[in-house]
């Protein structure tokens, strides 16, 4: 299973979104994908992606910093070396480079893609084997307008593309946010699951006031209502509230997952390959959750198809009892793959074939790549 890495190339790829995407900390009109090509001995190439949200608005790694870490530190560390498998790659990166999990995720993805191609196996097989070839996928309603979100939700339900939705709140006054969320839930109906993502915007007092009202309105899952450092309060909310508390930013790696689980957290974990350091690393985090009886949810950093497929290969090997939100490619006006993902009937299909099972359109890559 060994591979020798000969060269690494990295691009920043800017693609407009189909509509403004409003979060509590930023409104996005464009997404930047950090794309990596790993060339290995024998003419095998693997592709990876690292994507964050709103530059530095979401977290400590920006697209520019991810590219800098790869070009300046990780590429010289890895090139011309042979790795027996993905764990030896991760060990080498983690020993010499601290943090920078987004950059490491792109490289681990590219390595798995190349390894799968070398052995004619899908990445899911390298991660333990797919349990399903289709996964549920919701859509985030985040235009910033209640009326537009309701219309968008009704249209997507009629088309059959999605059967569940997420709402972004936290940027506006509490009463405005509550009215917005409850109006959308009421308009979509009792049979359509809806949850809200607060993106760390509330304090404990606000959460205690807001969550019962959301629950009474039919919203059954609340994502990351508190700042990621407020671990004890997040645990307390999960134990006290009649809804599922979904930990996202608070679950950065398997150590953070263990801290929440051992503290008595009873909600669900949002997994993201970028936070964990790659598809193989996020499986370790998932196993911590499963051991504690914590449900799993497949989260997105609004990646393009490349990063989305890498996540899907990992999710396919797990029981994602709280669903997934791998809709990132649908938010983009274009992409850099030759064949788009198959979204229908509230599900997305896992690509088949060696490695990630997708091909990169290098003409589109060059077209959207940021000029230095």
Q: Do 180 and 109 fall into the same domain?
A: no
Tell me: do 152 and 187 sit in the same domain: yes
- Cβ contacts of residue 158 below 8 Å, gap of 6+? none
Within a domain: residue 115? yes
pLDDT for 370 equals: 96
Domain holding 77, by residue range, is 3-120+360-368
Cβ–Cβ < 8 Å for 109, 279: yes
Q: Which pLDDT score, from 0 to 100, does residue 210 have?
A: 98
What is the structure's pLDDT at 157?
A: 96
pLDDT computed for residue 83 by the predictor: 98
pLDDT at 217: 98
CATH code: domain of residue 216 = 3.20.20.120
Contacts of 115 (CB under 8 A, 6+ apart): 1, 3, 46, 85, 86, 121, 126, 355
Q: Are residues 79 and 138 in the same domain?
A: no
What are the contacts of 76-82 at 24+ separation with CB within 8 A?
A: 78/5, 78/8, 78/107, 79/5, 79/6, 79/7, 79/8, 80/4, 80/5, 80/6, 81/4, 81/5, 82/2, 82/3, 82/4, 82/5
Q: How many domains, in total, are found in the chain?
A: 2
Beta strand 134-136 pairing with 347-349? antiparallel
Candidates 22, 117, 168, 272; catalytic one: 168
What is residue 202's predicted lDDT score, i.e. its pLDDT?
97
CA distance 137 to 323: 7
Q: How many CB atoms lie within 10 A of CB 363?
A: 10
**How high is the pLDDT of residue 144?**
85
| 136 and 105 part of one domain | no
Spatial CA neighbour of 267 closest among 311, 300, 325, 225:
225
pTM flag (> 0.85): yes
Tens digit of pLDDT at every position of the chain (372 positions): 799 999 999 999 999 999 888 777 788 889 999 999 999 999 999 999 999 988 888 888 999 999 999 999 999 999 999 999 999 999 999 999 999 999 999 999 999 999 999 999 999 999 999 999 999 999 999 888 999 999 999 999 999 999 999 999 998 999 999 999 999 999 999 999 999 999 999 999 999 999 999 999 999 999 999 999 999 999 999 999 999 999 999 998 888 999 999 999 999 999 999 999 999 999 999 999 999 999 999 999 999 999 999 999 999 999 999 999 999 999 999 999 999 999 999 999 999 999 999 999 999 999 999 997
Q: Is residue 355 included in any domain, yes or no?
A: no
Q: Tokens 């010499």, residue?
A: 96
Q: For residue 354, is it within any domain?
A: no
User: Which strands make up the sheet holding 27-40, listed edge to edge?
Assistant: 44-51, 27-40, 3-22, 81-83
Active site residue 22: no
Q: 236 and 180 share a domain?
A: yes
CATH at 109: 3.30.390.10
């Amino acid at each position: 299973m060994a591979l020798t890495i000969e060269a690494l190339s990295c691009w920043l790829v800017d693609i407009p979104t189909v509509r403004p995407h409003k979060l509590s900390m930023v409104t996005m009109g464009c997404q930047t994908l950090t794309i990596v090509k790993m060339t290995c001995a024998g003419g095998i190439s693997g592709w990876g992606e690292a994507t964050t949200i709103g530059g530095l608005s979401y977290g400590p790694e920006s697209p520019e910093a991810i590219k800098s870490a790869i070009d300046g530190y990780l590429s010289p560390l890895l090139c011309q070396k042979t790795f027996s498998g993905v764990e030896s790659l991760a060990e080498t990166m983690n020993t010499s480079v601290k943090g920078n999990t987004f950059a490491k995720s792109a490289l681990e993805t590219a390595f798995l893609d190349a390894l799968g191609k070398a052995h004619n196996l899908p990445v899911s097989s390298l991660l333990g084997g797919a349990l399903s070839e289709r996964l549920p996928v919701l859509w985030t309603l985040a235009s910033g307008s209640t009326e537009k979100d309701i219309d968008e939700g009704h249209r997507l339900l009629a088309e059959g593309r999605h059967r569940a939705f997420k709402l972004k709140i936290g940027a506006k006054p509490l009463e405005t946010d509550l009215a917005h969320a409850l109006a959308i839930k009421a308009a979509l109906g009792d049979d359509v699951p809806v949850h809200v993502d607060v993106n760390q915007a509330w304090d404990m007092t606000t959460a205690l006031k807001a969550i019962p009202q959301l629950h009474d309105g039919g919203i059954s899952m609340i994502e990351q209502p508190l700042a990621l450092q407020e671990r004890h309060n997040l645990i307390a909310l999960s134990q006290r509230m009649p809804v599922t508390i979904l930990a996202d930013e608070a679950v950065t790696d398997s150590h953070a997952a263990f801290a929440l689980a051992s503290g008595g957290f009873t909600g669900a974990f949002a997994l993201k390959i970028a936070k964990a350091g790659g598809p193989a690393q996020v499986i370790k985090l998932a196993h911590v959750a499963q051991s504690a009886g914590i449900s799993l949810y497949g989260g997105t950093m609004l990646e393009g198809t490349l990063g989305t497929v890498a996540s899907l290969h990992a999710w396919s090997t797990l029981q994602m009892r709280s669903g997934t939100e791998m809709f990132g490619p649908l938010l983009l006006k274009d992409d850099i793959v030759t064949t788009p993902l198959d979204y229908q009937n509230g599900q997305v299909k896992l690509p088949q074939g060696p490695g990630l099972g997708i091909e990169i359109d290098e003409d589109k890559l060059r077209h959207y790549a940021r000029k230095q």
